Amino acid sequence: MIFESHAHYDDEAFDEDREALLSSLQGRGIGTVINIGASLSGCEATVKLAEQYSFIFGAVGVHPSEIGELNEENFARLRTLCDHEKVVAVGETGLDYHYPEPDKDLQKKWFERQLLLARETGLPVIIHSREAAKDTLDMMQALDAGEIGGVVHCFSYGKEMAREYLNMGFYFGIGGVITFPNAKKLKEAVEYIPMDRILLETDSPYLAPQPHRGERNSSLNLPYVVEAIAELKGISHEEVERITEENARRLFHLTVQPDRKR
């Protein structure tokens, strides 16, 4: 079964067919899903989904683009959600410099707080880094993020940066971008990264793979990612699915396969 390590099924893009889609996943080869909080409301919705579906687990964090909503009171709410029995990670959190706002220093403040929250709770961290390679790495190294552990979501840098994260013991979330014809740098990085450090993800509803690029994404598109990784690594699709599931269960401390039921 495929382990989906990063999806946003609380997103409004799924409002019309969320229940039908989620109920179909296990019958179509998707065994486990980590739903990722990106805002406070998204974190609360994530916990509700995890309570509703046995095969869904949650990560709670605030995306760098959403940190304007954070204050001490709201951060305390986030800390409380970390104690839920089906919350398995802090995130996604990190730095995103694609747009001029939010302010970089404010992003760094709340990124540091969420890294420390992961350390405090003993949960791995899910890292978002967009056009902020140096600052993300510098902060993680300064805060000894290797002791926390986690995954660099939607890894988009080259193999030199991959080496730095491997030295910290981090995993790498690989999704639909690996299927894009112009993803040469990422393909070189995936060839370099050991299989025991790769996780499958979609970032649904975003970043659908070829041939569905531009459409709403879902975990049902993960076989395209499996195929691309299998070709790069020279191994079978079954090996990619097995190894990446083992990796995800190790990272998120999920040793038991969830029942195939809601």
Residue pLDDT, tens place only, 103-115: 999 999 999 999 9
Task: Compute the distance between CA of residue 214 and CA of residue 206 in angstroms, rounded to an integer.
Answer: 8
Q: Would you list the DSSP string of 234-252?
A: T--HHHHHHHHHHHHHHHT
3-state secondary structure of 206: coil
What confidence score (pLDDT) does residue 260 get? 47
**8 A C-beta contact, residue 200 and residue 222:** yes
Residue pLDDT, tens place only, 164-190: 999 999 999 999 999 999 999 999 999
Flag whether the pTM goes above 0.85: yes
Fold (CATH) for 2-251: TIM Barrel (3.20.20)
Task: Compute the distance between CA of residue 71 and CA of residue 74 in angstroms, rounded to an integer.
Answer: 5
Average pLDDT for 88-103: 96
For residue 93, give both structure tokens. Answer: 């959190």
Place of tokens 């609380």: 10
Q: What are phi and psi of 89, to 5 degrees?
A: -160, 160
Domain boundaries, the chain: 2-251
Q: What is the mean pLDDT of the chain?
A: 96
Residue pLDDT, tens place only, 119-161: 999 999 999 999 999 999 999 999 999 999 999 999 999 999 9
Residue pLDDT, tens place only, 200-209: 999 999 999 9
